[in-house]
A and B are shown apart, each in its own frame.
Chain A
């Protein structure tokens, strides 16, 4: 015991501090300083201090982007959790020999790059080769339609890539859930469905909220899917950051948006941790 504790605390704290500094604080500092730099139209930027880039947030244009990003990510996150939760719950009730291959399969889906996922969805939702042809064939639709690019195509893509992550976040909590809890509800007169919604869901609320945030932040940060499956009006803030930084050469505004995105995400995580911490 005493031998282990004899290493001074500051030595142990050195590596995390260094890693945090090099990997996070320094880049963030650079980004923050660029966000207040003067923009040189048609050129680069020169150092200085102006809040001009931040002032651009107060505009219908930026408000629209923000609203769209939040709505898209929130919808995708909710859909992902709504699909992943019952799926993961049922999975944890299966014998191990079924659980393991399914989890391995999910990990395999994780290894697919967003590029592949994006192009697959755009093919799947296209008019020429898409799923609507199938609906026409079985008589559900009059003629084949193109659903991409579009709002729902972006949602579908984001939900799809969030699903394996959502399952991974929910899995530990749900497999630890006492199987006697829903059974107790059943002996008290609750149907299986009722026991699911009145016991399993509320008991897992921490995992559900954690999963929602994870899926939300993940969708918010996705660059490829909105640009691949959406029209410019469906672009999320991440796509706009890239657009401003690379195509419009407006690094200060791109940086300001990135700072804003980061601060929002941090606040969101902090707020929910606080909220959950008090409830437990």
Chain B
């Protein structure tokens, strides 16, 4: 168990800036998810922590010690690679025991440890198989077991579940989270799947273009996105352009929307109003607080448990999730009134 501190790390590949002055503190024993679109520098950051890539600037500090100059094989970190990188010429047990063999652990002790780890990842009875004789999900577990064999100070995973089918992926997310909680190992997982990040992370780090946009607990980031990018990337919020008006309101064309939280920007400034689809209600009459927009339904998608309504108003397209029982009477081209309760509207200044 260890605490990690990334201090002002930058990485340039020729004239490509993969990371730009990234600073991040990861408390001991937490599960952190690095989340961001493709090419935003997640892998690069993880590789710099692992020592597989040298940062152009900045330092990586583990438990108060600067490890920036330490080569990868002396850092004592466990890593699960995107390709898994299992050794095809070795058996499952030999893969798991590889690091132990380098440390001079005896063959019987290695075997014992491998069996124990296979038990931990719920994959008994395959110790003597070749890697090619395993399914994708089984390989995944072997890769996790191998990375944990040396009881690493940090457990790093680069999109480890991306090759699995949707159902298995969801199962593995829960399993991996439980395993981490049991071992208490400080873990960093890279993903571009926000659901995955929300399922597993104690802490979510949202990245874009080599920069960190927001760090926080999953629900905090979801409920209070720091900017347009985070709001859109995490759960696809409705974003509407407007300007600040008197009385802590935002003027959206004709409509005037009251906001519960105090608005930082001054009157007349352009801001973005952010409302989650599940927070918008469909009403028939005018709501008491007057926070409403009229819109025309353009598409109705039945998802079973909920209905996703796409409607067009002056501010553009708005998505609304309503309970299935309110499906009645919703039709394409019908007029609807959208109620935006004051307590769910957030104002983004960027």
Query: Which residue numbers of A lie inside 8 Å of B, CB to CB?
Result: 178, 180-181, 183-192, 194, 199, 202-203, 205
Contacts and interface: CB of A to CB of B under 8 A. Distances in A.
Interface in B76-102: 76-79, 81-83, 85-89, 98-99, 102
Nearest to A205: B89
B264 to A, nearest CB: 45
B82 to A, nearest CB: 7
6 contacts: A186-B52, A188-B98, A188-B146, A188-B149, A203-B87, A203-B89
A62 to B, nearest CB: 40
Interface in B57-76: 71-76
B53 to A, nearest CB: 10
Contact of A199 (B73, B87, B146, B150): B87
A187 B88 contact: no
Interface in B139-163: 146-147, 149-150
Interface residues of B, number: 28
Nearest to B132: A280
A244 B36 CA distance: 74
B108 interface: no
Given A183-B79, A190-B102, 10 more contacts: A180-B81, A180-B82, A187-B52, A188-B98, A189-B73, A189-B74, A189-B99, A190-B73, A203-B87, A203-B89
A181 B72 contact: no
B81 A183 contact: yes
Contacts of A192: 73
Nearest to A182: B85
B103 interface: yes
A277 B79 CA distance: 32
| Chain A interface mostly | helix
A192 B72 CA distance: 9
Interface in B25-78: 50-52, 71-78
A174 to B, nearest CB: 15
A181 B102 contact: no
B77 A187 contact: yes
Contact of A189 (B50, B83, B147, B150): B150
Nearest to B89: A202
Most chain B C-beta atoms within 10 Å of own C-beta, residue among A184, A186, A194, A205 = A184
A199 B131 CA distance: 14
Nearest to B97: A188
A215 to B, nearest CB: 23
Contacts of B146: 184, 188
Nearest to B98: A188
B82 A203 contact: no
Nearest to A184: B85
Contacts of A203: 87-89
Contacts of B89: 202-203, 205
Contacts of A205: 89
Given A189-B73, A191-B73, A203-B88, A183 B52 contact: yes
Contacts of A187: 50, 52, 72-73, 75, 77-79, 147
A181 B90 CA distance: 12
A263 to B, nearest CB: 32
A203 B76 CA distance: 24
User: Lowest 10 A-B CB distances belong to which pairs?
Assistant: A188-B99, A184-B85, A180-B85, A186-B72, A180-B81, A202-B89, A187-B79, A189-B102, A186-B73, A180-B83
A117 to B, nearest CB: 36
Nearest to A189: B102
Contacts of A180: 81-83, 85
Nearest to A203: B89
A178 B89 CA distance: 13
A184 B79 contact: yes
Given A203-B87, A205-B89, A188 B81 contact: no
Given A190-B73, A203-B89, A184 B81 contact: yes
Contact of B102 (A178, A184, A194, A202): A194
B143 to A, nearest CB: 8
Contact of B103 (A184, A186, A189, A202): A189
Most chain A C-beta atoms within 10 Å of own C-beta, residue among B72, B79, B82, B149 = B72
B102 A188 contact: yes
Nearest to A204: B89
A49 to B, nearest CB: 50
A192 B58 CA distance: 24
Most chain B C-beta atoms within 10 Å of own C-beta, residue among A180, A188, A199, A202 = A188
Nearest to B96: A188
